């Protein structure tokens, strides 16, 4: 995610607007309308979609546990604490971005250049910097521009508000130059609803949705185009589903991102408002059905 002049100006303007419920709604509203071509609907209404839930929750979700999981460093440590056998990328460095200028940022990262590592802001979404080859000035600047800002002001996603600005340097999961498939499980109170598979995220990004039980390729797209062909059912699918179910228990909604590398399952991150509510399913009925299933999972959890 590179910040152009327009994006920097938008974030700077957003940072001047107080963090208040009505103002947050008004700041986030234009982006939702642009992507969905309609106003958000109260998620309690039958006509609402899962993206309406994401929109309202992203403005109000300030849960301490969600904020802990949203931070890329503390999140993976918490996930590992819940599931000690879960693999996580080895951390080589974590450093603060408070009051750090661009030159100091580059010098701090330079010892890690040309090594199989990545650097990314722990307190935001995006900004991943691959270090296996020396990054260009523009790539370094792009990550820096994200890392020095409070990510809350990008889209008023409350879970990011006031997270510590810091960079995490960790092992890359690339193997022979190939980024592994990203398995993203949509979950509600421990029930896994579907699996989203992202491929080629930094080249030709495709996204496919599958039913977990049957591995049926669903005829629905979500923000990015579908692949030309479905992928084979992963050997580790059942184990990944169990991990996602365990981590998501007690949460109205959580997306659990996992990778399979060297026959081991790695935790990527936990997300509570995918695409910051700016994604859109090609089938509106599908989005409404997902919200219905989240409501049903919430009712079932209350009965236990």
Secondary structure of residue 168 in the 3-state scheme: strand
Which pLDDT score is estimated for 304? 62
DSSP 224-252: BPPPSSPPPPPTTHHHHHHHHHHHHTT-S
Going residue by residue through the chain (304 aa), what tens digit of pLDDT does each one get? 556 677 778 888 898 999 999 999 999 999 999 999 999 999 999 999 999 999 999 999 999 999 999 999 999 999 999 999 999 999 999 999 999 999 999 999 999 999 999 999 999 988 899 999 999 999 999 999 999 999 999 999 999 999 999 999 999 999 888 899 999 999 999 999 999 999 987 778 999 999 999 999 999 999 999 999 999 999 999 999 999 999 999 999 999 999 999 999 999 999 999 999 999 999 999 999 999 999 999 988 887 6
Q: Count CB neighbours of 60 within 10 A.
A: 12
Number of residues written out for the chain: 304
Can you give the pTM of this predicted structure? 0.94
List, for residues 236-269, the tens digit of each pLDDT value: 999 999 999 999 999 999 999 999 999 999 999 9
Q: Please, what are the domains in the chain? A: 5-11+90-171 (no CATH), 64-88+177-303 (3.30.470)
């Amino acid at each position: 995610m590179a910040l152009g002049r327009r994006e920097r100006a938008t974030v700077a303007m957003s940072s001047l607007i107080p963090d208040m419920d009505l103002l947050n709604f008004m700041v986030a509203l234009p982006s939702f309308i642009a992507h969905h071509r309609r106003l958000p609907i109260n998620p309690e209404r039958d006509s609402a979609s899962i993206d309406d839930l994401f929109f309202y929750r992203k403005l109000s979700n300030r849960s301490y546990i969600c904020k802990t999981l949203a931070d890329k460093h503390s999140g993976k440590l918490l996930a590992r604490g819940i599931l000690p056998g879960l693999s996580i990328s080895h951390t080589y460095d974590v450093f603060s971005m408070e009051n750090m200028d661009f030159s100091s940022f580059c010098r701090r990262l330079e010892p890690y250049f040309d090594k199989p590592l990545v650097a990314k802001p722990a307190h935001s979404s995006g900004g991943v910097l691959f270090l296996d080859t020396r990054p260009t000035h523009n790539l370094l600047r792009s990550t820096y521009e994200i890392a020095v800002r409070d990510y809350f002001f990008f889209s008023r996603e409350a879970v990011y508000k006031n997270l510590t600005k810091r960079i995490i340097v960790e092992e890359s999961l690339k193997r022979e130059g190939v980024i592994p498939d990203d398995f993203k499980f949509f979950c509600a109170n421990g029930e896994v609803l579907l699996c989203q598979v992202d491929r080629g995220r930094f080249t030709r990004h495709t996204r496919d949705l599958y039913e977990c039980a049957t591995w049926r390729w669903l005829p629905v797209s979500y923000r990015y185009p579908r692949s030309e062909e479905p992928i084979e059912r992963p050997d580790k699918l059942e184990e990944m589903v169990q991990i996602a179910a365990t981590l998501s228990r007690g949460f109205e909604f959580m997306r659990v991102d996992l990778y399979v590398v060297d026959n081991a399952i790695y935790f990527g991150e936990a997300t509570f408002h995918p695409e910051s509510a700016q994604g859109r399913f090609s089938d509106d009925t599908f989005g409404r059905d997902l919200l219905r299933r989240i409501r049903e999972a919430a009712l079932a959890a209350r009965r236990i």
